[in-house]
Amino acid sequence: MTAGPEAVAHRAVPVRGAQRLDGEYVLPVRWSGRPGHELEELAAYLRGLSGQLHVTVVDGSAPEEFARHAAALGGTGVRHVPPEPWPGRNRKVAGVVTGVRAARSEFVVVADDDVRYGPGELRDVLEALQDADVVVPHNVFAPVPWHARWDTARVLLNRATWGDSPGTLGVRRSLFTAMGGYDGDVLYENLQLLRTARAAGGRVVSAPWVYVRRLPPTAAHFRSQRVRQAYDDFAQPARLLVEASWLPLLVLGALRPKLFGLPAASLLAGSVAVAEAGRRRARGTRHFPADGALWAPLWVLERSVCVWLAIGARARGGVRYCGERLPRAGRRPRPRVTGWREGS
């Protein structure tokens, strides 16, 4: 990787073995009515992190909730700030942009509020950033109730095919600043960040060997995410076409089993094989449940229906996300030449 002068200076700082890591942890949030026990658990997690590296929480909550969160985070060593204005209806992007720009290190770990890093994973991501501009680790649900196992099938299929989209990324601040942030008017904001980084000439590295714990959502929240996750397919048209073909094939397999029964059955059985390949990738069997791949047919059935519901939502003007209707899942940023690489 070609790096600018600031990045070269940081490269000389060792990560493994140091008492304090050279990095910044950025957590963008926008909460309403967060239960007290959840705030306490998160505050304890962030307190532990702040002893290892800088931590910034960018809080886009309403004023009364902001004050409540500030009280919960008091004494943790965490910097708690509101987001700066940023165009777009996806408010999370404003939090990410604010946090990365304000980072006190070249190496930044951005994470959702359900991500739980251990010291080893933090070091792995920060070390990978020595030779990359963006690092994409993989998430593992823990604990794994039934709905987390269901969603684990999606993770495993993604690991074996298109690549997973985790709730956390590592990014170099210099690249992020040079590329001018990223589009805040799309639903699939993680993918948008990756595409913008590539368009700016950054090196994006997938790290499927770095397993970061993710807390499962409630069963109710899991159900509410089904169509929204399917809507992300509009950012990847090839994937949208493939997944939209599943429902017609399955219906035809049920109505015309002699003609379409075998292809439909092969789709469901094949999903197990593909998911198992994802589970075995990068020693994933040490981290994912043994029955994770067996849930893949259920996920395929779910997505075959939800992708058509997402198509219907697109026809109505977009899917709802955090009180906003977002018509765009993603867009292709134009390639651009960035000054941060000059003279490197």
Per residue in 37-67, pLDDT (tens digit) is 999 999 999 999 999 999 999 999 999 999 9
Q: Name the CA radius of gyration of the chain, rounded.
A: 21
- For the segment 116-135, the average pLDDT, to the nearest whole number, is 96
Question: What does the pLDDT look like over 172-211, one tens digit per residue?
Answer: 999 999 999 999 999 999 999 999 999 999 999 999 999 9
Look at residue 20 and tell me whether its pLDDT is greater than 70. yes
- 169 contact partners, CB below 8 Å, separation of at least 6: 109, 110, 134, 135, 136, 137, 190, 193, 194
Q: How far apart are the first and last CA of the chain?
A: 10
What letter does residue 175 receive in the DSSP assignment? H
Confidence of residue 162 (pLDDT cuts 50, 70, 90): confident
- pLDDT bracket for residue 342 (50, 70, 90): very low
- Please state, in angstroms and rounded to a whole number, the distance separating the CA atoms of residues 266 and 162: 20
CA-based torsion, 5, 9, 12, 16: positive or negative: negative
The arithmetic mean of pLDDT across residues 69-89, rounded, is 96
Tell me what the pLDDT averaged over the chain comes to: 91
Q: 145-150, long-range: CB within 8 Å, 24+ apart, which pairs? A: 145/216, 145/219, 146/219, 147/216, 147/217, 147/219, 147/222, 147/223, 148/216, 148/222, 149/289, 149/291, 149/292, 149/295, 150/222, 150/295, 150/298, 150/299, 150/302
Q: Which residues pair with 57 in a beta bridge?
A: 27, 80
Asked whether residue 262 carries a pLDDT value surpassing 90, the answer given is: yes
d(CA 320, CA 317): 9
Tell me the pLDDT band of 2, cut-offs 50, 70 and 90. very low
pLDDT reported for residue 320: 87
- Average pLDDT for 156-169: 92
Instruction: Tell me the C-alpha distance between 246 and 300, whole Å.
Output: 8
Which pLDDT score, from 0 to 100, does residue 118 have? Answer: 93
| Cβ atoms of 38 and 67 closer than 8 Å | no
pLDDT tens by residue, 205-222: 999 999 999 999 999 999
Close Cβ partners of 307 (under 8 Å, ≥ 6 residues apart): 230, 233, 240, 243, 244, 246, 247
pLDDT at 231 over 70: yes
Query: Are the C-beta atoms of 156 and 278 separated by less than 8 Å?
Result: yes
User: Which SS3 state, helix, strand or coil, does residue 101 take?
Assistant: helix
What the chain holds in terms of domains, given with CATH numbers, is 5-217 (3.90.550.10), 221-319 (no CATH)
**Percentage of residues of the chain with pLDDT beyond 90:** 85
CA angle 133, 135, 140 (to 5 degrees): 170
* Residue among 250, 306, 281, 310 nearest 138 (CA): 281
Look at residue 194 in the predicted model and tell me its pLDDT: 96
The whole-number average pLDDT for the span 16-28 is 83
- The band of 6, judged by pLDDT with boundaries at 50, 70 and 90, is very low
For residue 249, pLDDT over 60 is answered with yes
* pLDDT computed for residue 10 by the predictor: 35
Residue with tokens 């960035």: 338
Residue 12 reports pLDDT greater than 60: no
- How does pLDDT run across 266-312, given as a tens digit for each residue? 999 999 999 999 999 999 999 999 999 999 999 999 999 999 999 99
Across-strand partners of 27?
A: 57
pLDDT range class, residue 16, cuts 50, 70, 90: very low
Per the rule left: phi > 0, alpha: psi between -120 and 50, beta: everything else, 119 is alpha
Confidence of residue 260 (pLDDT cuts 50, 70, 90): very high
Q: How many Cα neighbours within 13 Å face the side chain of 17?
A: 2
In this structure, the number of other CB atoms found within 10 A of the CB of residue 174 comes to 21
- Quote the pLDDT of residue 336: 60
Q: How far apart are CA 26 and CA 107, in angstroms?
A: 11
Write down the pLDDT at residue 47.
97
Q: Examine the pLDDT at 149 and tell me if it is beyond 70.
A: yes
Query: In Å, what is the CA distance from 263 to each residue of 157, 188, 292?
Result: 19, 31, 23
